[in-house]
Structure 1
Amino acid sequence: MPQAVRLRLSVADRVDHLPGQHYVVRLTAPDGYRAQRSYSVASAPSDPLVELFVERLDDGEVSGYLADVVESGDELEVRGPIGGWFVWDGTHPALLIGGGTGVVPLVAMLRTARELGRTDLLRTAVSTRTLAELPYADELRAAGVVVVTTREAHGVRPAGRLTAADLVPLWEPGQTAYVCGSDGFAETASQLLVDFGVPAAGIRVERFGASG
């Protein structure tokens, strides 16, 4: 993905995260000014390092520094893991739906399922403008994830938004649905699920703001 980096962090006294949790990265300038942003964890809990995916935003105080300045061996102030709602415990069936960088916590879930030998528990669909802009595109495609592209054709599927027709074949009663993406994407995807009968109580949503 253009203008993005993967950070692999060695975290002292680390507590293993659950798939779906995030870390806060805080930067402090020489004059004391502080800026912080939250980044979902992409790695599985068994990974000795914490992997964060950072999309470089043109006006991003934190993302610009992490993408352009940070080098191997640098120290960062981090806090985490954080979050208890948007997490997958590795034992229950789930439908994962991600848009853009919202796929990152879903990657952690897929990696965990692979390590546990329970890939049968997860079914996944993701949406992106183009395949080149999709984080972890090769890994997601290799996992058999349904990939929808809105700005270009993908395979036999023309460009277009995620639809109920994409999701209905993936849904089974008893699944918990995890939806992650921008406000607009999360709202649309959640409504698609409700419209074809998924109980609202079975839908967990994580929204990404403009600061990502």
Structure 2
Amino acid sequence: MTEGGPRPEADGEPAAGPTDPPPRLRRRAPAGGWRTATVREVDRPTPRTVRLRLEVPDRVDHLAGQHYVVRLTAEDGYRAQRSYSLASAPGDPLLELLVERLDDGEVSTYLADVVEVGDELEVRGPIGGWFVWEGDGPALLVGGGTGVVPFVSMLRTARELGREDLLRVAVSTRTLAELPYVDELRAAGALVVTTREPSGIRPAGRLTAADLVPLWEPGQTAYVCGSTPFAEAAGQLLVGLGVPEPDVRVERFGPSGSSG
């Protein structure tokens, strides 16, 4: 398995893994500098998340799977910044971020509790050239909780290209109420597994190898994104099924032990 560099998926949650992907895995990808974004839409799709849609003048078009940094500056000059995956497709006129609110998070609590339509935010991106899908090959997407966000961007990109057939999706969540984009994921044919409640005739339980077997086909690249325990378990499931390790790309995130 190969893993992405240490970036936060949610406030105060840097991903584990090497500082940089190996040189053979690096891709040329678009990258942008700091911009001033204007908040155009704010809503809360689940009890602990906020969805922000931002207008970013002169932005660099992104690839599905890339992320942006949001930086806050206090009146005394203190700064805090966190990275968030993009949910929007490249053709969307606005950038869409989903932020999970952490009670001790400096950035996520501000974005979730304070930010309103019309506010301005400092942002930088797009960032990342490895955990991306360019719409030119089949892929299996395995996400846990808010780890589905980059996969929403991939699904929307596939719709823009008319290539929904290239993607298959499996998602694990504690409950349906906690899963962002649940309707969109299901409409795309995603397998959704709930670990804390039954789902239809399926009892509560974790994602299993048997769940992934019907979704896997030779030639796919597998993308895994979620918390550290989920990502490690899902990655091992795929390798255990015989998926070649170089074809499994894992991006994981976990508590950093600090809110700053």
How much does 1:155 deviate? 1.3
* Aligned equivalent of 1:106, options 128, 151, 176: 151
1:63 aligned onto 2:120: no
* Counterpart in the other structure of 2:173: 128
Unpaired runs of at least 5, structure 2: 1-45
- Identity among equivalent pairs (%): 82
* Counterpart in the other structure of 2:97: 52
SS at match of 1:59: coil
Separation in structure 1 between the aligned mates of residue 195 and residue 212 of structure 2, nearest angstrom = 16
Unpaired runs of at least 5, structure 1: none
1:193 aligned onto 2:217: no
SS at match of 2:120: coil
Separation in structure 1 between the aligned mates of residue 90 and residue 202 of structure 2, nearest angstrom = 35
Residue pairs, 1:1-212, within 5 angstroms: 1-210=46-255
How much does 1:162 deviate? 0.6
SS at match of 1:106: helix
| Count of aligned positions | 212
Structure (1 or 2) with the greater helix fraction = 1
* TM-score, normalization by structure 1: 0.98
Matched residue type, 1:62? V
CA deviation vs aligned residue, 1:129-151 (integer Å, no higher than 9, x gap)? 00000010111111110000000
Runs of 4+ in 1 over 3 A off after TM superposition: none
Separation in structure 2 between the aligned mates of residue 150 and residue 78 of structure 1, nearest angstrom = 35
CA deviation vs aligned residue, 1:191-211 (integer Å, no higher than 9, x gap)? 000001000000111112236
Q: Which has the higher contact order (CA 8 A, sep 6+)?
A: 2
Q: CA RMSD in A?
A: 1.1
